[in-house]
């Protein structure tokens, strides 16, 4: 294997430094010549122009030449695209072997598969396949619209010709240079995935930058791409300058060969080009990174601003070798973020646990990521029931003391996964029937005692007897009898995580419901029917908007965009008061329903979605800070439907506009 060591005699800026883009339209049969002088890269972004909201496939309609000769191969993609709207999926070469023309997508914008104007086969936001981007929106524009070519810095003429017989073509051209031969870089917004086949975003200015507040955490993601002729080896490090603690991490991946989860089954090998990779840990970099040619890697700077920091801009370097570095600028803002008052919870089966050190590290990790509420269960916080039906609340009382010391939210304390406790009630009472007097006599002692203990300590406890009762039909009879029985116990509150239809049906009997499967109906404004209980009434959207204030979702460990959306601005736009996620350290590391993973040395690990979750919470906190410090500011959030379609870059742009208003006197919404 040929490996090139990075070595330059001076410090250089690694990057894809595009100048201002040229934007133009080509009518059918029209051409445009671009004189490229002294540049090492040219990028072309084109689409056949369709009316707003329309989308089609496209075809080979773009003529491209370099000095009158065929263009070289692209360096930003695999050389083909896949039509996800056809079954079976259809593969199309970027350059037609006979005509030499290049493929151009037909669309009304530069976002693939988002059509909304009557072309439903291209409205695949719920699918988005794995063909070109492995379920990652950030790579769609690169795969379907962009073509990037390496040049030799001589004076060259690139000619574009629209060969379509009828439609116009919308085009953009970008130019750039490889200031470190064969190596590109760009900053990538948190929430956008980076895979080995990802390509740096066009237009990056070469500076890694971030804005954050005193005492806060800020994740920064950087993509490094090798477009050279050989593999490259380097070991990155951060030359920290300023009031920061910074951890440098690298994104790792796991190749799925035996598909066990729905997430894994939704991914597939793409025509033998892209392996079935699932992003896993962000790991410390112990050895040099070997970056293969035509591959990318993702580096993460996990930055904490010290509490004694002063507002201002601070410069440092992300060093790839002693001679190659990228400048980093972190601006510490002149205000502090406020608490938005929202409940952020996680299910976990590992707390409080018996290991004091491990517990302390997990709690610190949870708090540092914005989680203020936990879910207690009867496995990790057991209650022993005596033969007389009296409960031993020693372990439960210890758990409350722990919650008090850690300052967790007291407004909502869910005590669920009650099977061990319920089995004891059945054994002592001699009955499994919640409607029997024997069962209720024992259950009353147990649940009233727990309720009164929590009340005396300032906690509002809700008993969660059945997980997702209306998506597990076999559990519904017990759920109904359990709820009916507990309603008769004085003061006892019932919690659930029923869907909107289940909450609607049992609304008068449930005191607190964390709605699953609520976002789609609320966002799209459509009534919801229960899939498993088809005879139940549909839930009207107005009722959902009025009553649903708490929701939960299984945001996956590798789904950074989903985590940032659902823990962030989307909750503000929907008027939600709390959001729970599943889950935290749930079982083994290969379960991608868990955010961080415990590392082999026992330290608390992290994933891209765990960092994106915190960014989402902070997105909302920036908005809350704007509303508090500048109540007359005119910036309004987009609609829930718009937010749900926004990319990580667009979410970051929205945060940046909020920061701009907080740091200036402007009151515009631009």
> Is there a domain that residue 2 lies in?
no
Spatial strand order of the sheet with 413-416 comes to 461-464, 413-416, 373-377, 343-348, 578-584, 550-553
Q: How confident is the model at residue 107 (pLDDT cuts 50, 70, 90)?
A: very high
Q: Which parts of 136-213 are beta strand (E)?
A: 146-150, 156-162, 169-176, 183-188, 208-212
With contact defined as beta carbons under 8 Å apart, do 593 and 375 qualify? no
Q: How confident is the model at residue 73 (pLDDT cuts 50, 70, 90)?
A: very high
User: Is residue 14's pLDDT more than 70?
Assistant: no
Tell whether 207 and 311 lie within a shared domain: yes
What does the pLDDT look like over 389-423, one tens digit per residue?
Answer: 999 999 999 999 999 999 999 999 999 999 999 99
The domain boundary, picked from 156, 176, 196, lies at: 176
Q: How confident is the model at residue 259 (pLDDT cuts 50, 70, 90)?
A: low
Instruction: Summarize the confidence of residues 29-43 as an average pLDDT.
Output: 91
Top-confidence residue, 114 or 166: 166
Looking at residue 123, its pLDDT comes to 65
CATH of the domain at 303: 2.60.40.10
Tell whether 244 and 144 lie within a shared domain: no
Q: How confident is the model at residue 602 (pLDDT cuts 50, 70, 90)?
A: low
User: Is residue 118's pLDDT more than 60?
Assistant: no
Tell whether 318 and 353 lie within a shared domain: no
Tell whether 218 and 360 lie within a shared domain: no
> Is there a domain that residue 7 lies in?
no
Looking at residue 589, its pLDDT comes to 54
With contact defined as beta carbons under 8 Å apart, do 660 and 623 qualify? no
Overall domain count for the chain: 3
Instruction: Summarize the confidence of residues 484-500 as an average pLDDT.
Output: 95
Top-confidence residue, 338 or 523: 338
> Is there a domain that residue 110 lies in?
yes
User: Is residue 17's pLDDT more than 60?
Assistant: no
Q: Which residues sit opposite 580 in a β-bridge?
A: 345, 552
Residue 473 DSSP code: G
Q: How confident is the model at residue 274 (pLDDT cuts 50, 70, 90)?
A: low
Q: How confident is the model at residue 13 (pLDDT cuts 50, 70, 90)?
A: very low
| pLDDT, the chain, mean | 86
Tell whether 309 and 389 lie within a shared domain: no
> Is there a domain that residue 263 lies in?
yes
> Is there a domain that residue 513 lies in?
yes
Taking residue 427's Cβ as centre, other Cβ atoms within 10 Å add up to: 13
> Is there a domain that residue 155 lies in?
yes
Looking at residue 458, its pLDDT comes to 97
Looking at residue 120, its pLDDT comes to 60
Distance CA 208, CA 211 (A): 11
Looking at residue 197, its pLDDT comes to 86
CATH of the domain at 42: 2.60.120
Looking at residue 257, its pLDDT comes to 66
Least confident of 1-15, 125-139, 456-470, 548-562: 1-15
Tell whether 172 and 266 lie within a shared domain: no
Tell whether 267 and 220 lie within a shared domain: yes
CATH of the domain at 359: 3.20.20
Distance CA 508, CA 5 (A): 69
Looking at residue 4, its pLDDT comes to 42
Q: What share of the chain is helix, strand, coil (3-state, %, to 5)?
A: 25, 30, 45
What does the pLDDT look like over 158-197, one tens digit per residue?
Answer: 999 999 999 999 999 988 777 588 888 999 999 988 888 8
Q: How confident is the model at residue 126 (pLDDT cuts 50, 70, 90)?
A: very low
Top-confidence residue, 547 or 281: 547
Q: Which parts of 75-213 are beta strand (E)?
A: 80-83, 90-93, 102-107, 146-150, 156-162, 169-176, 183-188, 208-212
> Is there a domain that residue 319 lies in?
yes
User: Is residue 439's pLDDT more than 50?
Assistant: yes
Tell whether 378 and 278 lie within a shared domain: no
Tell whether 352 and 487 lie within a shared domain: yes
Instruction: Summarize the confidence of residues 62-88 as an average pLDDT.
Output: 88
The domain boundary, picked from 332, 358, 390, lies at: 332
Q: Where are the alpha helices (DSSP H) in 227-267?
A: 262-265
With contact defined as beta carbons under 8 Å apart, do 493 and 443 qualify? no
Taking residue 598's Cβ as centre, other Cβ atoms within 10 Å add up to: 18
User: Is residue 590's pLDDT more than 80?
Assistant: no
Least confident of 38-42, 118-122, 291-295: 118-122
Domain span including residue 566: 343-663
Distance CA 626, CA 638 (A): 16
> Is there a domain that residue 289 lies in?
yes
Looking at residue 182, its pLDDT comes to 85
Residue 134's closest CA among 198, 66, 207?
A: 198
Q: How confident is the model at residue 517 (pLDDT cuts 50, 70, 90)?
A: confident
Least confident of 6-10, 50-54, 95-99: 6-10
The domain boundary, picked from 176, 204, 234, lies at: 176
User: Is residue 326's pLDDT more than 80?
Assistant: yes
State what percent of residues in the chain have pLDDT above 70.
87
What does the pLDDT look like over 628-660, one tens digit per residue?
Answer: 999 998 888 999 989 988 889 999 999 999 999
Tell whether 534 and 412 lie within a shared domain: yes
Tell whether 168 and 207 lie within a shared domain: no
Residue 125's closest CA among 135, 134, 113?
A: 113
Looking at residue 599, its pLDDT comes to 67
Distance CA 42, CA 178 (A): 11
Looking at residue 272, its pLDDT comes to 47
Tell whether 161 and 190 lie within a shared domain: no
Distance CA 67, CA 613 (A): 49
Helix and strand numbers, DSSP H then E, in the chain: 15, 34
Residue 519's closest CA among 564, 576, 469, 470?
A: 576
């Amino acid at each position: 294997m040929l490996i090139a060591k990075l070595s330059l005699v001076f410090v250089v800026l690694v990057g894809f430094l595009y100048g201002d883009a040229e934007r133009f339209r080509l009518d059918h049969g029209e051409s445009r010549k671009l004189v490229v002088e002294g540049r090492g890269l040219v990028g072309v972004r084109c689409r056949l122009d369709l009316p707003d909201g329309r989308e089609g496939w496209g075809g080979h309609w773009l003529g491209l030449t370099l000095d009158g000769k065929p263009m070289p191969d692209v360096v930003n993609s695999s050389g083909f695209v896949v039509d996800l709207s056809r079954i079976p999926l259809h593969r199309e070469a970027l350059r037609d072997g006979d005509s030499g023309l290049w493929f151009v997508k037909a669309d009304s914008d530069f976002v693939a598969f988002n059509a909304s104007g009557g072309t439903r086969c291209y409205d695949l936001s719920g699918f988005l396949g794995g063909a070109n981007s492995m379920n990652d929106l950030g790579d769609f524009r690169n795969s379907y619209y962009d073509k990037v070519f390496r040049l030799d810095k001589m004076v060259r003429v690139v000619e574009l010709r629209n060969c379509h017989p009828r439609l116009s073509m919308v085009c953009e051209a970008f130019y750039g240079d490889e200031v470190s031969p064969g190596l590109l870089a760009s900053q990538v917004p948190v929430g956008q995935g980076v895979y080995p086949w990802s390509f740096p975003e066009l237009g990056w200015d070469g500076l890694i930058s971030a804005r954050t507040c005193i005492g806060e955490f800020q994740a920064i993601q950087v993509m490094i791409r090798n477009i050279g002729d050989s593999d490259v080896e380097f070991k990155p490090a951060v030359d920290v300058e300023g009031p920061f603690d910074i951890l440098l991490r690298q994104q790792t991946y796991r190749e799925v060969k035996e598909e066990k989860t729905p997430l894994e089954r939704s991914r597939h090998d793409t025509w033998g080009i892209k392996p079935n990779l699932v992003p896993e840990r962000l790991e410390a970099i112990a050895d040099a990174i070997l970056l293969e040619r035509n591959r990318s890697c993702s580096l993460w700077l996990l930055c904490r601003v010290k509490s004694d920091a002063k507002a201002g801009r601070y410069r440092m370097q992300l060093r790839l070798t002693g001679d190659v570095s990228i400048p980093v600028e972190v601006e510490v803002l002149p205000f502090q973020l406020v608490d938005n008052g929202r409940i952020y919870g996680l299910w976990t089966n590992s707390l409080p646990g018996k290991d004091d050190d491990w517990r302390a590290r997990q709690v610190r990790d949870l708090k540092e990521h914005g989680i203020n509420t936990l879910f207690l269960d009867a496995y990790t916080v057991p209650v022993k029931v005596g033969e007389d039906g009296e409960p031993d609340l020693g372990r439960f009382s210890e758990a409350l003391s722990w919650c008090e010391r850690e300052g967790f939210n007291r407004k909502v304390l869910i005590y669920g996964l009650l099977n061990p406790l319920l089995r004891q009630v059945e054994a002592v009472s001699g009955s499994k029937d919640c409607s029997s007097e024997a069962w209720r006599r024992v259950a009353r002692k147990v649940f009233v005692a727990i309720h009164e203990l929590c009340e005396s300590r300032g906690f509002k406890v809700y008993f969660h007897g059945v997980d997702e009762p209306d998506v597990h039909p076999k559990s519904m009879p017990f759920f109904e009898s359990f709820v009916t029985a507990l309603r008769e116990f004085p003061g006892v509150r019932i919690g659930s995580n029923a869907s909107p239809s289940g909450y609607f049906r049992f609304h008068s009997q449930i005191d607190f419901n964390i709605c699953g499967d609520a976002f789609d109906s609320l966002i799209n404004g459509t009534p919801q029917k229960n899939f498993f209980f088809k005879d139940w009434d549909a839930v009207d959207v107005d009722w959902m908007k009025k009553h649903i204030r708490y929701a939960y979702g299984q945001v996956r460990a590798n789904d950074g965009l989903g985590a940032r959306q659902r823990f962030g601005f989307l909750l503000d736009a929907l008027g939600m008061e709390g959001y729970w996620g599943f889950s935290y350290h749930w079982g083994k590391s290969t379960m991608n329903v868990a955010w961080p993973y415990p590392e082999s040395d026992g330290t608390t690990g992290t994933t891209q979605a765990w960092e994106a979750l915190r960014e989402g919470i902070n997105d909302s906190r920036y908005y809350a800070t704007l509303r508090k410090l500048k109540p007359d500011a005119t910036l309004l959030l987009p609609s829930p439907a718009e937010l749900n379609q926004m990319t990580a870059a667009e979410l970051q742009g929205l945060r940046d506009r909020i920061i701009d208003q907080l740091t200036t006197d402007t009151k515009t919404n631009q």
